[in-house]
Structure 1
Amino acid sequence: MASRTHRAASFRWLGSTAVTAESGDAQNGARNGAGGDGGDERANQGGNEFAAMETALRGGHEPGVGGDSYAAMDLALRIGELMLAGGDTAESVDLAITRIGRAYGLPHPEVNVTLAVVGMSYLPRGGRPPVTAERRVRRRLPNYTRLAAVADLVRDATAQRLTLQQARFALGDIIGRRAAYPGWAQVGALSLLGAAGAALVGGGPLAICAAFVATLLGDRTGAWLGRRGIADFFQMGVAAAIGTLVTVLLVWSSADVRSGTVIIGVLIALIPGRALVAAMQDGIAGDLVTGTTRLVEVLFTITAILGGVGLVTYLGARAGVPVSLHDLPQAPFSVAAPQTLGAAVIAMAFAVYHLVSRGYLPPVAVGGVLSWSVLVELRAVHLPAAPATAVAATLVGVLGTLLARWRGVPALVCVTPCIAPLMPGTLMYRGMLELTVGDSGRGALILVEALATALAIGTGVYIGGELLRLVRPVRRALRPARRVPVTRR
């Protein structure tokens, strides 16, 4: 009881100190009236000038921490958590939290965004204690429809079209909405992504069907392992191993199919393109901790995929079912109709899997065809894979960001699905096969080229968005709103 009383007294003392700091001018004036000291008047005048200067530098009157301030901080952190869990970049999350804070009475918040934690701190003037809070992101499931809705909410709140209570209700409505597609549609979209990847590299009907089944089996097996607490690393490794096992079985059965197209389609479906783009964007934007963490996560995922492919390929070779390096598909050096259709299907399937709204599927399909066509034409003039991929991703980044700004949605919604056809599945598979047959030097070089190509995708997308900032900077939204003088009658 004594300690509780002591803490209460301490809080009352802090509160009285804050009140004294805010109302010091009035108290000094009362003492000056009683004592009549000219030196005190000059000191009081100097204090007023200092307070006025501080107020001007801090951007006007800064409120204290009250009930609305706590509610605003909670709203901002919940929005940041939702955006980060949905796949948005650290820069976008930081910007959204800052806008919400400024819109609802926290003019100078300090925001800290990592891959797993969103934190916010506010230090009011007048000697009052700071307030700090954070929320952990425990599950990261991509949901681009939700990201677009949150972007609309932040825009309305910044424009003062919503009260704090209305904004909180709107956020609850966004969280409670049904997903844009049912669960079975997402599973089918991922399987279709693998099938379209097989078509993209020249697979026939049998290879396309085999890639669909292999991706479906790998995804469902990974989900079954996930429900039992198995780490994502092993889930991805098992999924890649299942796809490779289907390829080995096709070779063993002497089926009339280019077996390499099956596993390449599965690899295109499994490579974490969304996380790769976000990692490069965070790193280049200066969010080094988040960007590095995302990149390490991507590298672990790719390592798991390559481990699953390499293990099954090695076991197949030891069992007398070797996969020949001479039968691997190559990207065509002309824009053919089957491959173009495959690129469009890959982009749309990627969009459905990441819950992009139906209205964006047609432009996403066009973007997928465009990225693939540019890559093919650049490779036809013997440009290396990484630079050609970077150019194609940059073009998609520019056009996709333009569309996103016009529609008022995050750029990830319009850009990320379009780069799915650029994933270096063929290079990854060829590198692993070279390692399996004993050519470690050549296999390592091919895998490095595949990694460089993957990084070029994220870099190109970010460069495309940065080029538009030269014309229309988006950071100007961080500037405080201009105050319109009110004329009193």
Structure 2
Amino acid sequence: MRDWRAEHERELTADGLDDEQEEPLPDPRVIDLVLRVGELMLASGESTEVVSEAMLSLSVAFDLPRTEASVTFTTITLSTHPVGEQPPVTGERVVRRRTLDYFRVGELHTLVEESALGLLDLEEATTRFNRIRRARAPYPNWFITVGLGLIASSASVMMGGGLIVATAAFLATVLGDRIAVFLARRGVAEFYQMTAAAVVAATIGVALLWVSVELDLGLAAGAIITGNIMALLPGRPLVASLQDGINGSYVSAAARLLETFFILGAIVAGVATVAYTAMRLDVHIDLDSLPSAGISMEVPVLLGAAGIAMAFAVSLVVPPRLLPAIGALGVMIWVIYAGLRSVLEVPPVVGTVVGAVAVGVVGHWLARRTRRPVLPYLVPSIAPLLPGSILYRGLIELTQGTAISGMLSMVEAVMVGLALGAGVNLGGELVRAFQHGGLAGAGMRGRPAARRTRGGY
């Protein structure tokens, strides 16, 4: 496609035109389609590099000359420069609303691929895009909410909680999500929505802990809070931020990373408020009995890992046919992590990186084999290692006066999160290093992340 594009643009230069031949102008319908496809891909959760490559592929497929695409966290710009003395034409769209929807991302990838292969003309591509934009998700809205609750209940099972704790974690997370939706409809900022959801789940967890202590039930009620933290943790923006940064999109990377830390701040504010209130009310939270899956590879823990990954995928609207593979990847990352921790006694960050790299390699291989986007495989699969229990321990330590231990736990949670994002990205780079062919729009050497700052190729 790059050779064809270069030859085609040489034919469109002023030297290649007859004196009586009119200079072609870009088709505004193509510009509109490319911008709208890029906008919907970015709003649905795709990384900026992939969005840029998709826009360049469409511009090649539909004969836009000398095209440049610029994608940031919220803005998409497309510029095309006609031949001769015609001025350049530039269009821009702003993403004002984000709704994570990997079903639409996959359909848009198929649209771009078929257009690039010449299987769709402009009218057919526009019709297909409008159909994708209006299409219903494979899950009803209530089932996506259920998916959030299943993340928390699966995490509580991994942490040793029984049926009562798993049910309470499910109800607490769903209730917190509904309260967040109510606040969103009232125009309340997302930061406070996340804080409210964390407060609701933490309150239910502390209440069940008090009942368990008073009645001597022996319930691992703290797993409710841990499960809710796992459901709220920003796995998708964390992975996307590190991908954008390593790929050279520094503005988008900084914005996504800031979004990640704002979400973490909302979770910390909500849980810490409830934990401090509980301490003032003499509800004792024993640090030695905080829930943690440790390095266990028992059947309930493995089932919990698979459940977290698949439930996370449902909340991201991943197509149902991908769920078994995602569940297997969730089990794989936990087995690698727990195996390294138990056999080689490596630190948690090292086990996390190795597991994430393995998932990155397998996820990118599956994406290439199935010709699907890679993020629907990667983002849910790292969910079992999200540092929910570490973050919860750090918050409890801070509220109980052990500030140094609490800060160390918080730093460890951030390091584990960054290790997950960097690991899956490294796995993708390993696959890219040995693959045949390059990216559709720019090629392997045309990647911003591949350009050398010293010397030459």
User: Is TM more than 0.5 here?
Assistant: yes
Structure 1 residue 159 corresponds to structure 2 residue 117? yes
The question of whether the paired residues in 1 share the 8 Å contact of 2:357 and 2:426 is answered with yes
- Larger RCO (CA within 8 A; separation ≥ 6): 2
Which amino acid in the other structure matches residue 155 of structure 1?
E
What's the offset of the Cα at 1:127? Answer: 2.3
**Which secondary structure does the structure 1 equivalent of 2:136 belong to?**
coil
**Which secondary structure does the structure 2 equivalent of 1:335 belong to?**
coil
Structure 1 residue 223 corresponds to structure 2 residue 181? yes
Distance (Å, rounded) in 2 between the aligned partners of 1:208 and 1:343: 14
Equivalent position to 1:251, from 185, 209, 225: 209
**Which secondary structure does the structure 1 equivalent of 2:108 belong to?**
helix
The question of whether the paired residues in 2 share the 8 Å contact of 1:313 and 1:322 is answered with no
Match of 2:19 in 1: none
Distance (Å, rounded) in 2 between the aligned partners of 1:292 and 1:229: 26
Q: Deviations over 1:411-442 (max 9, x none)?
A: 01222111111100011001111110111111
Written as runs of structure 1 = structure 2, the 5 A alignment for 1:44-55 is none
Structure 1 residue 459 corresponds to structure 2 residue 422? yes
TM-score, normalization by structure 2? 0.90
The percent identity for this pair of structures is 40
Match of 1:435 in 2: 398
Which amino acid in the other structure matches residue 12 of structure 2?
H
Which amino acid in the other structure matches residue 228 of structure 2?
V
Distance (Å, rounded) in 2 between the aligned partners of 1:479 and 1:171: 23
What's the offset of the Cα at 1:58? Answer: 5.5
Q: Deviations over 1:426-474 (max 9, x none)?
A: 1100111111011111111110110010011111111111101111155
Cα separation, partners in 2 of 1:403 and 1:259, compared to 1, 3 Å: same
The question of whether the paired residues in 2 share the 8 Å contact of 1:117 and 1:137 is answered with yes
Match of 1:273 in 2: 235
Equivalent position to 2:361, from 398, 401, 411: 398
Q: Deviations over 1:216-274 (max 9, x none)?
A: 11111111111111111111111111111112111221243112211111111110111
Match of 1:446 in 2: 409
The question of whether the paired residues in 2 share the 8 Å contact of 1:391 and 1:460 is answered with yes
The question of whether the paired residues in 2 share the 8 Å contact of 1:368 and 1:419 is answered with yes
Match of 1:364 in 2: 326
Equivalent position to 2:225, from 263, 279, 284: 263
Structure 1 residue 119 corresponds to structure 2 residue 77? yes
The question of whether the paired residues in 1 share the 8 Å contact of 2:53 and 2:442 is answered with no
Cα separation, partners in 2 of 1:260 and 1:99, compared to 1, 3 Å: same
What's the offset of the Cα at 1:112? Answer: 1.1
Structure 1 residue 61 corresponds to structure 2 residue 61? no
Which amino acid in the other structure matches residue 182 of structure 1?
P
Written as runs of structure 1 = structure 2, the 5 A alignment for 1:159-308 is 159-253=117-211, 254=213, 255-308=217-270
Which amino acid in the other structure matches residue 306 of structure 2?
A
Distance (Å, rounded) in 2 between the aligned partners of 1:338 and 1:64: 68
Which amino acid in the other structure matches residue 140 of structure 1?
R
Distance (Å, rounded) in 2 between the aligned partners of 1:56 and 1:337: 59
Cα separation, partners in 2 of 1:121 and 1:326, compared to 1, 3 Å: same
Cα separation, partners in 2 of 1:164 and 1:338, compared to 1, 3 Å: same
Equivalent position to 2:95, from 133, 137, 141: 137
TM-score, normalization by structure 1? 0.84
The question of whether the paired residues in 2 share the 8 Å contact of 1:395 and 1:464 is answered with yes
Cα separation, partners in 2 of 1:317 and 1:386, compared to 1, 3 Å: same
**Which secondary structure does the structure 2 equivalent of 1:134 belong to?**
strand
**Structure possessing the higher radius of gyration over alpha carbons:** 1
Structure 1 residue 331 corresponds to structure 2 residue 293? yes
Match of 2:351 in 1: 388
The question of whether the paired residues in 1 share the 8 Å contact of 2:393 and 2:406 is answered with yes
How many residues were matched structurally?
Answer: 425
**Which secondary structure does the structure 2 equivalent of 1:112 belong to?**
strand
**Which secondary structure does the structure 2 equivalent of 1:472 belong to?**
coil
Structure 1 residues 249-258 or 204-213, which shifts more? 249-258
Structure 1 residues 252-261 or 457-466, which shifts more? 252-261
Equivalent position to 1:80, from 13, 34, 38: 38
Which amino acid in the other structure matches residue 324 of structure 2?
P
**Which secondary structure does the structure 1 equivalent of 2:440 belong to?**
helix
Q: What is the root-mean-square deviation of aligned Cα atoms in Å?
A: 1.7
Structure 1 unaligned blocks of 5 or more: 1-54, 481-489
Equivalent position to 2:338, from 356, 362, 376: 376
Equivalent position to 2:273, from 311, 314, 324: 311
Which amino acid in the other structure matches residue 179 of structure 1?
A
Equivalent position to 1:471, from 410, 414, 434: 434
**Which secondary structure does the structure 1 equivalent of 2:118 belong to?**
coil
